[in-house]
Amino acid sequence: MPDGAEEFRKMQHALDVPCLKPGAMEGVQPFKAKPEHQEKVGMPGELIPDWKEKALEKMAELGEKNRAFKVYLDTCVKCGACTDKCHYFLGTGDPKNMPVARQDLLRSVYRRYFTFAGKYFPWLVGARDLTEDVLEEWYSYYHQCSECRRCSVFCPYGIDTAEITMAAREILDTVGVGQKYSNEIIGKVKEVGNNLGLNPKALRATLEDLEEDLEEDTGLAVRLPLDEKGADILLITPSADFFAEPHIDGLLGYAKVFHEAGVSWTISSYASEAANFGLFIGSYENMREISLRIRKAAEDLGVKRIVFGECGHAWRVAYSFLDTLAGPFDFLDQKYPIPQHILEFTWDEIQKGTLKFDKSKNDDIRLTYHDSCNVARASRMGDMPGGQFEIPRNVIKAVCNNYFDMDPDTIKESTLCCGGGGGLLTDDLMDLRIKGSSPRMTALQDVTEEHGVTHMAAICAICKTQFSKVMPKFGYEMDSVVSVHQLVSNAIILTGSNDGESAEEETSDE
């Protein structure tokens, strides 16, 4: 085992409660956004002189606009059911990473200024003044929450700490204290169309290289089309699928599935990003701007359907909010889900008998599956409850012989975050990311010991990147995390039924 793996293995069970370590993560925080990053998301460049007044105005506005936020702040009865449910608390032992304590960082200020008791008897109700120290504490601990919503599953009142985290981040942004990683990425999507800042020319070259590789491997013209007008399907996928491992192997899997299904499809250079970091910073305005790019791409290309690739929070935004943010999508073919997940597409084709597999191609691995938080707890797939749990497993079992679930307390609705979600996938938070991943890694180590599991599949770009970085700390190779469509790609039997005929190609690279 590599350095550190044994230390984490000492946690006997994924969900064992750690010894309390007050202040262990005090001051741990990501880099703050510079003025140029702030301006791109429409926020002040630095802490504004009247920050306190503006922060309280924003809190009041959020309470009026978002009734759930106010109910969450008013309702908690301190029952304690959520205290040991957060992977960052389990991994760090810092009591301020207990969900109820995290909420109280903001609730205590809300009480001070917006409740009768807090205004007149603050010491009786745990109310406190808003100060610059409080802002710093918010910046630290609201960036130690990945907005995964696991705690909300266990709260008898359904209080969602993720919503409070988003509100806190929005208040911080409003007064000029934003997070560099998320805000810089949003700026790139608005300017170039994707998180990477990959321009259309570079994207076209990447896709052409991949087509050449696929032809070499398969002997068939499996296409990865870009900006093809009149294609049936617009694929919106995380830009990590264009370059990162194992994401790119998933992209090749989508291409093979579309090829074998005989449908025409295209990627858009204008909306070449599924990720929507507007969600992470709690900004509906930014979420809307990014979503509108997808609408415009679909209209300009004249597609009939929109399919999303493997990305957790992108699917949450698409499934739950796309229609409100950028709808109505009445110009698309109403026969199909709007939008549709690539796994729904693949599972439909499997059920229709269009796709054939040689499962033995995946016999060199023994597999488990990590349910991504935003898919598991904030969206659905298919037309039945729990489809978001069953459809990925159905597809995996259709292409793999050796599949084993992890501990039931750590999967499906109770799944554990990878530790890098919610805008925390940045190297300045690596220590937090490793500690936050330890409950999931411990559950993985359990199935490795019990069933000889060697690999874990995921359908989220963030999970894949996070696991490939942290798995070596827990005794696994970095390629022990795989894309679900990578498994599909390995096993699919291509018949060459699609000769690669393209829809009308748009010539411009602008």
**Binding site residues, ligand SF4, CB under 6 A:** 76-82, 85-86, 88, 99-100, 102, 145-151, 155, 157, 159, 161-162, 165, 417
SS3 of residue 306 by DSSP? strand
Q: Which residues contact 148 (CB under 8 A, 6 or more apart)?
A: 87, 162, 373, 374, 377, 417, 421, 422
Residue 335, classified by CB atoms within 10 Å of its CB into exposed (0-12), middle (13-18) or buried (19+), is exposed
> Closest CB to ligand SF4 among 102 and 485?
102
**What is the nearest approach in angstroms of ligand SF4 to the Cβ of residue 315?**
17
Residue 182's nearest CA partner among 29, 291, 32 is: 32
In the complex, the smallest distance separating the C-beta of residue 76 from ligand SF4, rounded to whole angstroms, is: 3
Tokens of 342: 């690539």
Residues 6+ positions from 123 with CB-CB distance below 8 Å: none
Closer of 160 and 227 to ligand SF4 (Cβ): 160
In angstroms, what is the minimal distance from the CB of 210 to ligand SF4? 35
Q: Which is nearer to ligand SF4, 161 or 486 (CB)?
A: 161
Q: How far apart are CA 81 and CA 75, in angstroms?
A: 14
Residue with Cβ nearer ligand SF4 (210 or 432) = 432
Q: Which residue has the tokens 């295209």?
A: 266
Query: Least distance (Å) from ligand SF4 to the CB of residue 400?
Result: 29
3-state class (DSSP) for residue 265: strand
Residue with Cβ nearer ligand SF4 (30 or 193): 30
Tell the smallest beta-carbon distance from residue 225 to ligand SF4 (Å).
38
Q: Cβ 78 to ligand SF4, closest distance in Å?
A: 5
Q: Please report, for residues 153, 253, 466, the alpha-carbon distance to residue 240 in angstroms, rounded to integers and kept in the order given.
A: 30, 14, 12
Reduced 3-state DSSP string for 80-130 = CCCCCCCHHHHHHCCHHHCHHHHHHHHHHHHHHHHCHHHHHCHHHHCCCCC
Shortest Å, Cβ 442 to ligand SF4: 16
Q: Position 359: which residue type? A: K
- Residue nearer to ligand SF4 on the CB measure, 222 or 376: 376
- Closer to ligand SF4 at the Cβ: 60 or 81? 81
